């Protein structure tokens, strides 16, 4: 029988604690704090994400039910009260958790760098999109979106090799998606898959000059002139593969170079889609497959909205909302890191469900998360007593 540390404590081993302390010091998160540190706040919030707690009262009740285990779970405060946690969420700098999530993202991307996209490509492929999170304007007056509606937007650049977010930005709902193209630094040689909401030829031409490639869904009213038509296999659903130049009064000046225009028809729905790209060396079929891969970012938004707490919030201030979202992203990336480091073949949803009911159990993390048919090699030192319990 395993008599070591809890599953929750073993999860914390995969977090760079020294980096977290450095970030807390940078933003003075623990300035004049006596008992409830930023680390305690972080642990309470990731506990709430893992166990689907509905409110601060739920967090207080669950953690208060096991006061003798708090120290072994990683907490250094004697008890967790909802008022203390609420004050910490409202006042402490959310950038601590935003920067820490970026550190975890950097580590996860290194682990998933060899993941296959299913396409014969050597370049890194990204999908850029945004999702709107609705808020009650009466409770969140700082998040005004429309006259009687509040909202924020979660902008995400998803690395399709491993579906790890490479760039995340939280903005008010009134900020249009295309403005995020100014904040991104395009990587030369990488491919960015975009929806038609990012149609801005001035910004796209700047990306083209940076030697980055894009695959963009075109609009129906695009004013262009055809230069060449390339042969296509219509049995695959392809309709045309053309080299074009823009000839609108503004677009011809904003994007003076040639573009590639590919039209494809879905054989099942009959819907026709037009794609624009500055990549002339890929086959037309590969370009359409790249755009189909953009659906991964939609699945990412759907996943985190369904399985993490980012639609109902524990506080109403801007700091509380951003803190909760960034910690939720940290939980997603942490599970992805654990999955890769331990060589677990299960999907993230299954791992999250298992962790939600086993955090307090004292069992080996690998055996807990592994599939039922997998056997874990016996460790000769597993019965040895722990000298230090972090």
Residue 384 falls inside a structural domain: no
Are residues 58 and 11 located together in one domain of the fold? yes
| pLDDT tens digits, one per residue of 321-371 | 999 999 999 999 999 999 999 999 898 889 999 999 999 888 999 999 986
Full domain range(s) for residue 208: 196-293
C-alpha–C-alpha distance, residues 182 and 186, integer Å: 10
Claim to verify: residue 289 and residue 327 sit in the same structural domain: no
One domain for residues 280 and 353:
no
Q: What is the pTM of this model?
A: 0.89
166 belongs to a structural domain: no
Measured distance CA(57)–CA(55) in Å, rounded = 5
Mean pLDDT, range 81-104, rounded to an integer: 95
Q: How confident is the model at residue 116 (pLDDT cuts 50, 70, 90)?
A: confident
| Mean per-residue pLDDT, 243-270 | 91
Model pLDDT for residues 128-165, shown as the tens digit of each residue: 999 999 999 999 999 999 888 999 999 999 999 888 99
Residue 200 falls inside a structural domain? yes
Distance CA 144, CA 151 (A): 6
Q: How many structural domains comprise the chain? A: 2
Q: How far apart are CA 203 and CA 240, in angstroms?
A: 26
Are 246 and 252 within 8 A, CB to CB?
yes
């Amino acid at each position: 029988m395993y008599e070591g540390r809890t599953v929750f404590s073993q999860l914390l081993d995969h977090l760079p604690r020294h980096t977290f302390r450095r970030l807390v010091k940078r933003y003075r998160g623990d300035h004049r704090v006596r008992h409830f540190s930023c680390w305690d706040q972080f642990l309470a919030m990731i506990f709430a994400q893992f166990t689907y707690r509905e409110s601060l009262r739920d967090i207080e009740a669950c953690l208060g039910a096991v006061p003798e285990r708090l120290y072994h779970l990683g907490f250094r405060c004697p008890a967790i009260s909802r008022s203390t946690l609420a004050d910490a969420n409202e006042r402490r700098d959310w950038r601590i958790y935003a920067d820490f999530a970026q550190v975890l993202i950097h580590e996860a991307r290194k682990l998933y760098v060899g993941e296959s996209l299913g396409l014969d490509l050597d370049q890194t492929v990204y999908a850029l999109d945004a999702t709107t999170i609705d808020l009650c304007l009466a409770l969140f007056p700082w998040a005004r979106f429309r006259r009687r509606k509040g909202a924020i937007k979660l902008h995400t650049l998803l690395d399709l090799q491993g579906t790890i977010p490479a760039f995340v930005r939280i903005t008010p709902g009134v900020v249009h998606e295309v403005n995020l193209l100014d904040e991104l630094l395009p990587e030369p040689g990488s491919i960015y898959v975009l929806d038609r909401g990012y149609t801005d030829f001035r910004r796209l031409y700047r990306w083209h000059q940076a030697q980055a490639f894009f695959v963009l869904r075109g609009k129906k009213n695009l004013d262009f002139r055809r230069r060449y038509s390339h042969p296509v296999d219509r049995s695959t659903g392809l309709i045309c593969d053309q080299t074009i130049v823009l000839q609108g009064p503004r677009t011809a000046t904003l994007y003076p170079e040639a573009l590639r225009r590919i039209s494809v028809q879905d054989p099942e729905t009959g819907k026709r889609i037009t794609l624009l790209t500055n990549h002339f060396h890929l086959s037309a079929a590969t370009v359409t497959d790249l755009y189909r891969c953009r659906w991964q970012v939609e699945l990412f938004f759907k996943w985190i909205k369904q399985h993490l707490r980012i639609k109902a919030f524990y506080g109403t201030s801007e700091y509380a909302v951003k803190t909760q979202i960034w910690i939720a992203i940290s939980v997603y990336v942490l599970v992805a890191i654990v999955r890769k480091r331990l060589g677990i073949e299960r999907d993230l949803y299954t791992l999250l469900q298992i962790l939600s009911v086993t955090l307090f159990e004292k069992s080996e993390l690998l055996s807990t998360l592994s599939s039922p048919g997998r056997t874990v090699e016996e460790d000769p030192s597993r019965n040895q007593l722990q000298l230090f319990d972090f």
